[in-house]
Every structure is written in C-alpha cells, then in structure tokens.
Amino acid sequence: MPPSFLEAVITRFDRGLRTAAGVPQTEPDSRPPPRGQSPPGPRSGPGEARHIGRLMRVNYAGEVAAQGLYHGQGLTARDPQVAERMAEAAQEEQDHLNWCLERMAAHGVRPSVLNPLWLAGSVTLGAAAGLAGDRWSLGFVAETERQVMRHLQGHLAQVPDHEPETRAVLEQMVLDESQHAEWAEDGGAHPLPLTVRAAMGLNSKLLTKGSYWV
C-alpha cells in the first residue's frame, strides 16, 4: 500500500532533521566517496585545511537545501511520476551529503548551525514551486542544479591539487548535478523568469556566506 500523505510528511521530516544535524545516512546502494587519482602530496596547513573544510560545510548546507527542495516539491507535485522522481533525486543526493560530511570531518569542521533554517526555508520554497505546476517545478530543479554546478566549480578552483580526495568529491558532484539538471530539462522544465533566477542567486549567496562562518 503506498504511504499516506501524512506518513510521507513524517518520514521526510525525520530524515530532514537527521540531515540538518549532520547524521550520515547510508543505504545498501550508497556510493563510497570518490578518491583522487593522484597520490596525496603535501597536506594542507591548518589555515588552508580550515578553509577547505568550510567550503565543504557550505556544500553540505547546499545539499541540505536541495533535500528540502526535493521533498517539498515531491509533496505538492501533481504527476505521481514527478513526485516519485523527486524522491529518487533526494535519495541520490544522499551520497553528496555523506561525502561532504566525510570531507568536513577530515578537515576538522562541523556542520553549519544554520542547517535547520536552510532546510525549513527550502521545504517551503519547494512546496510552493510544486504548487505552481510540475513544469515550473522542474524548471526550479534545473536552475538550482545549474547554480550549484557553477558554485562547485568555483570551489574546485580554490582546492589545491594536494587535496585529491576533496577535488574528486567536487568533480563527481559537478557530474551528478549536471545529470540532474538534464533530467529536469528533458522532463519539460519551464525556463524560469530572470527575477526568480536572481532571487534564487541571492538566496544562495546568503546560504554560502552564512554556512561558511557558522
């Protein structure tokens, strides 16, 4: 029997709280963190390690927000196939959460205390996008993924070659996000108006700045 709406809300809420608190969640089909091809060279000094750890904290916060969006969108999607695909996408993003957590721990950095805020905001935003209609909702996914890709590429430019594990995680995340964007575009995503895209960009700046520091 498919879960009721209330059961789905409770399950997602439970999962979301664990994610916001930085609890890794592994499934039998979870992918291990990708590892760099080159052998590790000189390790980063304390200042550089802290910076890289904080970049991964920003990425973790971004993934928390992505989880919230997918769950919110899944709850209000009209087409059951879109709702199902949103749930699958949230599951696929779980690997990114686990990898970011592992990279943060390797650099002695804890998750952002603002994660519950990003989660609550993004569930609300996702539910609103879902209510606007599936094609707008898919447009929202495509734009989010494209913005995340640009953001990850910016981080890649800051992570040195002697951090091959972190670079490998970021590179795989860029590839995965690009596939998520293509899935949404192939599914009939509506391109979003410039004002919405600009608002999303502003939102992401807030998340980036906030979770880098706390």
CB of 93 to Fe ion, least distance (A): 4
Q: Which region among 12-20, 26-34, 110-118, 170-178 touches Fe ion (by CB under 5 A)?
A: 170-178
Rounded to whole angstroms, the Cα distance separating 31 from 23 reads 16
Q: How many CA atoms lie within 13 A of 196 on its CB side?
A: 16
Rounded to whole angstroms, the Cα distance separating 109 from 126 reads 28
- Give the Cβ contact number of residue 153 at 10 Å: 12
- DSSP helix/strand/coil, 47: helix
Nearest to 189, CA basis, from 128, 148, 125, 145? 145
Residue number with CB closer to Fe ion (66 or 109): 66
The set of residues, in sequence order, having a beta carbon less than 8 Å from that of 74 and lying 6+ positions away, is 8, 12, 83, 86, 87, 90, 126, 130
Q: Which region among 94-102, 132-140, 197-205, 206-214 touches Fe ion (by CB under 5 A)?
A: 94-102
Rounded to whole angstroms, the Cα distance separating 57 from 101 reads 8
Residue number with CB closer to Fe ion (30 or 44): 30
95 forms part of the interface with Fe ion (CB under 5 A)? no
96 forms part of the interface with Fe ion (CB under 5 A)? yes
- Interface positions, 143-162, toward Fe ion (CB under 5 A): 145
71 forms part of the interface with Fe ion (CB under 5 A)? no
x/- binding map, residues 105-144, to Fe ion, per CB under 5 A? ----------------------------------------
Residue of 12, 177, 183, 184 that binds Fe ion (CB under 5 A):
177
- Return residues touching Fe ion (CB under 5 A): 93, 96, 145, 177, 180
